[in-house]
Structure 1
């Protein structure tokens, strides 16, 4: 039987990063993955493939709608080859997953393929093509999450689908109904809208991406409506039924009146649930809460002292980069170091176009917590860079403490917002004030000038270009 200092169950961003950091710190490390490829949901059926399709569909959309304005004239009809687009996505996924395999080899991490299940707190049985047992002084649970659904929805994975199936459709839906106005639904909805589908989003809450700043939700919905996506907010889905090649969706409108919509494809995107199936947590005595999440303390340690858990399987935002931070945190904790994570400073991103990004408190949270604040906003259309690239939608909003001027939150909708948000994270990590950002030189012309201008607007309302 092989013995390890650390065994990691799950090879997504949290798991493989935890394994690498443990190995870097001199621990003999094993990683266990039930699928034949490493990388977990993010690399195989999540972040990476969805961004590949978003980029491909964006290029197609630009060619159809915007190239002529740039003086690019294409002769003949512009054709879209879905099969080739999916194949490119698959190639990107393979290259990325192969990269993780390389990193495991480079760091001398033993990889086991199969379902890892606790025999007890220090022994793990791995069931794959054969059955193996290993011993681990410490174990990190990093098994991630799976798409959620409702009890009355039967996911046939052909017409009523999750994000996994939406990444590999054989045809472009004539009409795609998306149940859930969160990040995943909006991103995949925009992909198929660009490719020619009619897209309708049904959201139970009164706005899309309801966890984000209200101004951001409002702006994103306005922009996506301009792109001809349809939204039914404050609507409650009551039944979904597949009849032949048609999906019938029943819902209640804002007034509680029953309504019906028919479509050829329905994407169920109502969140994700922690995935602990087959782990044998009961054999090790590990506790989970009523929502199925593994319970941990501030050190991400479970009630069993040598077992830790990270990523989507524990509380907090289900984000790949949050899982990575937690993976490093646990590895360094095991090595006797004293790492830290400021969960308030983990950014959230929606990769639609325009992109949405945010970090820190929303305006609604500040009001609820009774924190005196000031706000400054700046529209992207006022930037020279935005006019040059024809990316005019969106804004940047900076929220700062009314008394100290410390930045409390930054929220943005616009081109390259996913990349720009890092500036706000750095500033807030070092507890910068709005005036600090307003006095930093930003290259011209760039999209990041909007951050400086919003900071100026929050500092005595003195934006220069508005």
Structure 2
């Protein structure tokens, strides 16, 4: 193991040997899982001079996110948004391009190309930083030994980064053809006539948007009384109106009780959720059903029971502030530990843990992990929702600003949505920022940075924002939170 000073720079760390080590050698760190958390942890640890092994069941690194999640879904979201833009918006902008139609096979091929190029980028990083990557099933024999497809591998520390898998509904068998998870919904060979989606969370809303733009009738069944659970209620109401205008039908306060396969499709039986007190069952017909009821941590087959590694009621591995599990020498990050199941959260944890293992300081504000829904309009948030502040009896102020009043949004013909900023009434400290509108996922970076440094709404308002930009809407909402906006 390379010697690492408690305080120093990468230049102070002895670099690993140029020879790729074999599995008969002892590793400083073994990372099980090569998703966003695992591969970032492996790369950062190698940058800091540690000898690293990364193991994954997939042949290619990148995990769910790069292979069958974030990247392919965003490729389809972007393509279908451009389809609608060319068909509906170009004529208004004075651009004539004739009939616009989708070529689903070509669209899927482009998505697959993007995925391939992205996962190759991870392989390049592993090679560049001399991370040993192996494909196979790994289980943990002891804190200093894993078993990889029957072969024992010695290691000084182990990181569990095995991610998550789609949660399923009891009694409903997933075949990834008629009844699909997000994995199957990303590779349907044809546009469904009627797609029913169970769950109005991020996955259901995004993939519902994709297939609706491509021509499918889309019905989203949600157990709760609103869509986008966990996001500020004002944002979810605005998003629901927008998606309804797109043509998505919502069945709220509704649960799925049974799914029957027919020769020509599926019969989905639904009834009012228990919270409504209503009764009655209804049969809905569709040709494809997407189960998007969330995700569950993947920990089976690792040998956690024998090591007495503690988990919570939802199956997440319990860790402390330094990512230690209840078994010394074994750490966990990403979707297998409590917190939002987000790729960027896993990346931050992977980076922080690698620094910790190499003796470097690390820090994460787990309460300031941004959340984004990549629909159109996008929804993004960081910090507290107004509902959570009310539940805490907090005293706060609200500043809002619509994109309709933003010059760049008008120039782009994309004015739907608004910015909402919540601040402490006494100190003006930022408590939460919520954006629905164009490029919300990009715009949320400034508020996230501001909140990480304890900034106030006035700090954002007094920072010069280029004109004309969408970011001026954030500045104006900040002005509204502590004084009054200038352009409203």
Alignment TM class, shorter chain as reference = over 0.9
Larger CA deviation: 331-340 vs 99-108: 331-340
Q: Helix, strand or coil: the match of 2:118?
A: helix
Corresponding position of 1:377: 400
Task: Tell me what 1:179 maps to.
Answer: 198
Instruction: Please state how far the C-alpha of 1:150 moved relative to its aligned partner.
Output: 1.3
State the secondary structure of the residue aligned to 2:75: helix
What residue is the counterpart of 2:216 in the other structure? 197
Aligned ranges for residues 279-358 of structure 1 at < 5 Å? 279-358=302-381
Answering whether residue 143 of structure 2 is matched by residue 121 of structure 1, we say yes
> Could you give the per-residue CA deviations for residues 287-328 of structure 1, whole angstroms, max 9, x where no partner exists?
222221111112111011100000000100000000011111
- The answer to whether residue 466 in structure 2 is matched with residue 447 in structure 1 is no
Specify the alignment match of 2:134 in structure 1: 112
Paired position in structure 1 for 2:158: 139
**Contact preservation (8 Å) 1:121, 1:283:** no
Answer with 285-294 or 362-371: which moved more.
Answer: 285-294
Give the whole-Å Cα distance in 1 for the aligned partners of 2:331 and 2:27.
Answer: 15
**Residues 220-231 of structure 1: pairs in structure 2 closer than 5 A:** 220-231=239-250
Instruction: Give the corresponding residue for 1:54.
Output: 77
Alpha carbons 1:53, 1:191 under 8 Å: kept: yes
SS of corresponding position for 1:119: strand
- 2:418 counterpart of 1:419: no
The question of 1:3 aligning with 2:26 is answered yes
Q: Which residue of 2 aligns with 1:256?
A: 279
* Alignment partner, residue 5 of structure 2: none
Per mean C-alpha deviation after superposition, the further-off stretch among 435-444 and 9-18 is 435-444
Q: CA deviation at 1:285?
A: 3.1
- Deviation beyond 4 Å, 4+ runs, structure 1: none
- Deviation of 1:133 (Å): 2.1
1:95 aligns with 2:114: no
- Deviation string for 1:243-270 (max 9, x for gaps)? 1231111111353321121101111000
TM-score (normalised: structure 2): 0.93
Q: Can you list the C-alpha shifts for 1:5-30, whole angstroms capped at 9, x where unaligned?
A: 10000000000000011111111100
8 A Cα contact 1:154 1:241, kept in partner: no
Alpha carbons 1:311, 1:320 under 8 Å: kept: yes
Corresponding residue for 1:409? 432
2:100 paired with 1:81: no
Q: Which residue of 2 aligns with 1:272?
A: 295
**CA–CA separation in structure 2 for the residues paired with 1:53 and 1:355:** 15
Q: Give how far 1:152 is off.
A: 2.2
TM-score w.r.t. structure 1 length?
A: 0.97
Q: Is the 8 A contact 1:154 1:240 kept in 2?
A: no
SS at structure 2 position matched to 1:136: strand
Pick from 11, 16, 20 the counterpart of residue 43 of structure 2. Answer: 20
Give a deviation string over 1:411-456, Cα, whole Å, max 9, x none. Answer: 0100000000000011111111111111111111111111011111
Partner of 1:400: 423
Question: Residues 159 and 245 of structure 1 are in contact (CA less than 8 Å); yes or no, is this contact kept in structure 2?
Answer: no
- SS class of match (1:158): coil
Query: What are structure 2's unaligned runs of at least 5 residues?
Result: 1-23
SS of equivalent residue, structure 2 residue 444: helix
Q: For 2:142, what is the secondary structure of its paired residue? A: coil
Residues of 2 paired with 1:378 and 1:120: CA distance? 56
Q: Over the residues paired in the alignment, what is the CA RMSD in angstroms?
A: 1.0
For 1:286 and 1:118, how far apart are their aligned partners in 2?
11
CA distance in 2, matches of 1:45, 1:344: 27
5+ residue gaps in structure 1? none
Contact 1:118/1:283 (CA < 8 Å) preserved in 2? no
Give 3-state SS (helix, strand or coil) of 1:418's partner. Answer: helix
SS in 2 for 1:457: helix
Residue deviations 1:230-249 (CA, integer Å, cap 9, x gap): 11111111112221231111
CA distance in 2, matches of 1:321, 1:418: 12
3-state SS in 2 of match to 1:341? coil
